[in-house]
Amino acid sequence: MSLTDPFTACILLLVTLAVLGLPVAYSMILASILYLLMAGLDMGTAAEQLLNSMYTSYTMLAVPLFILAAELMNSGSMTTRLTNFANALVGRFRGGLAQVNVLQSLLFAGMSGSALADAGGMGKMMMRMMTQDGKYTPSFAAALSAVTAVVAPILPPSIPMVIYALVSNASIGYLFLGGILPGLLISASQMLIVWWSARRNNFPTEEPVPVRELPRITLRALPALMLPVVLIVGLRGGVMTPTEAAAVAAAYALFVSVVIYRDVGLREFYTSLLNAARTTTSIGMLIAAALVFNYIVTIENIPNAIRSLLLSYDLTPLTFLLLVNVLLLLIGAVLEGSTIILIIVPVLIPTAAALGIDPIHFGVVVVFNVMIGLVTPPYGLLLFVVKRVSGASMGAILRDTVPFLLGLLVALMLITLIPDIVLFVPRLFGYSG
């Protein structure tokens, strides 16, 4: 390890530039270029990796389209109607709107496999609802929207689980089923934490809505509430694939706002497109840069170094799983999720199999770990997304994330130590593992 070692120099430059305030995406690209330069490799590889990985990332297209769907909902009255409905339901309880945020992510998780799409799209809507009239601080709204989004790829459908199945030969169907109880566990723990901090911080309650008002408010919000139903029916009925569902969500939001509520015109549509494009650009650039950086990690053979490290210890299944937790949490703090599953996890799978760990259990634990990495600094993609959307400072968001992060870690421990939480539902459907 010295300054003349390309990889060391690359990491140093990355950290330095990012800490000095250069956009994270540029810091990663520049660090990669420095590596290629020092290692005497073709510097055109940076362009090659960025262009080709973006060009072949078909399933990522769900991200911009879900962002557009949320923008469209925001520009008309769909958001307001949903707020009214949520208020009528749980607003009278302390911290009611925060609970709504948790519920929203749970609903959304049933139709999307991407946490980024949840935080960047629906999360933006929730943040606006929570912060208007200064009810909650922007940083709390942002932190909550980030941690609740974690559930999206745990409940089916799930893009990371598809990638895991690809590298592990585990059944996608059983993996999806295995995510159900852990997903519910996450949301339940988050509701508990919201309830606890609501009492501690004296969160606002909303004006109680008379029960006889409820049917009218529900009816007014019904078309907006139907969105998950439309998507789930469309997905289960084979009309569309999960990626296409994002476009259908946007189309439905447009249809409801223009035809039913009649409060979105050409001008509003254009503004929504523009806003969604801006958000897409910032997030897309970060993904692109991460994909360039992956190349460096791969060519440096980091995964093999991990493999030999693991082999040098005498592990029991439990210590192995705990070690994997620690390892993935550390890596998750600096690398992007699907990268970890594609590059690091294949290294761990043979060891897991040799120790007799169930592949479905291992898969859910891995995906859970990777998702926690999305809300762990310094490289917490979800944190960047909500920061970008809410405008709160990173320090404040981090502070408000801490209790939820602890909750997620407890849930992770439970899932790691008690495989039945994962395997119960798959076994109901005939899984023999």
Partner 1 sequence: QSNVPLRFSAVFSQQDIRAEMMERFAAALGDGFDFQGFYGATLFRQGTELVALQRSNLEMGNIAPQDISEQLPEWSVLTSAYLFRDADHLVAFFQSDAGEEMKKMAEDRLGIRVLGPTYFGVRHVGLRNQRDINTPADMAGLRLRMPGGDSWQFLGQALGANPTPVAYAEVYTALQTGAIDGQDNPMPNVQNMKFYEVMSQIVKTSHLVGFDVLTISKSTWDKLTPEQQAQVQAAADEAIAWSNAQHLQNEADLIAFFEEQGLTITEPDLAAFRTYAQQLYQSSGAAARWPDGIVERINGL
Partner 2 sequence: MLAVMFFAFIIQVVSRYFFNMPTGWTSELTVIMWLWLVLWGAAFVVREDEEIRFDLLYGSVRKGVQRVMVICTALVLIALFLISLPASWDYVTFMKIQSSAYLKIRFDWLFSIYIIFAVAVVCRYIWILARALGARWPGKKPHQTGPQA
In the region spanning residues 86 to 115, those forming contacts with Na ion, defined by CB under 5 A, are 101, 104-105, 109, 113
Nearer to Na ion, 9 or 425 (CB): 425
Contacts (CB under 8 A) with partner 2, residues 117-136: 124, 127-128, 131
Indicate which single residue of 12, 93, 171, 244 sits in contact with partner 2 (rule: CB under 8 A): 244
Q: Does 426 bind partner 2 (CB under 8 A)?
A: no
Please identify which residue in 370, 392, 412, 415 interacts with partner 2, judged by CB under 8 A: 392
Residue 425: Cβ within 10 Å count: 18
Binding mask 346-385 for partner 1 (x = CB under 8 A): x--x------------------------------------
Which one of 154-162, 181-189, 278-286, 290-298 is the stretch in contact with partner 2 (CB under 8 A)?
A: 278-286
Name the residue with tokens 């606890």. 196
Phi/psi for 107 (5° steps) reads -60, -45
Which residues between 144 and 203 bind partner 1 (CB under 8 A)? Answer: 157, 159, 162-163, 165-169, 171-173
Closer to partner 2 by Cβ: residue 45 or 205: 45
* Nearest approach, Cβ of residue 305 and partner 1 (Å): 13
Q: Please, which residue, 276 or 371, has the CB nearer to partner 2?
A: 276
> Is the N-terminal amide bond of 378 cis, ω within 30° of 0?
yes
Return phi, psi of residue 323, to 5°: -65, -40
As a whole number of angstroms, the distance between CA 71 and CA 128 comes to: 11
Q: Which of 321-353 are b and which e, b meaning 16 or more Cβ less than 10 Å from the residue's Cβ?
A: bebbbebbbebbbbbbbbbbbbbbbebbbebbe
Site for partner 1 in 36-65 (CB under 8 A): 41-42, 44-45, 48, 52-53, 55-56, 58-59
Looking at the Cβ atoms of 106 and 289, the one nearer to partner 2 is 289
In whole angstroms, the minimum distance from the beta carbon of 397 to partner 2 comes to 10
Decide if 121 contacts 67 (C-beta within 8 A): yes
- 339-343 contacts: CB < 8 A, separation 24 or more? 339/290, 339/291, 339/294, 339/297, 340/370, 340/373, 341/160, 341/163, 341/164, 341/167, 341/366, 341/367, 341/370, 342/163, 342/167, 343/294, 343/297, 343/298, 343/302, 343/303
Q: Which residues, 65 to 84, sit near partner 2 by CB under 8 A?
A: 65, 68
Q: Does 301 help bind partner 1 (rule: CB under 8 A)?
A: yes
CB 209 within 8 A of CB 217: yes
Choose, by CB under 8 A, the member of 103, 225, 240, 333 that binds partner 2: 240
Interface contacts to Na ion, rule CB under 5 A: 101, 104-105, 109, 113, 145, 148, 152, 155, 158
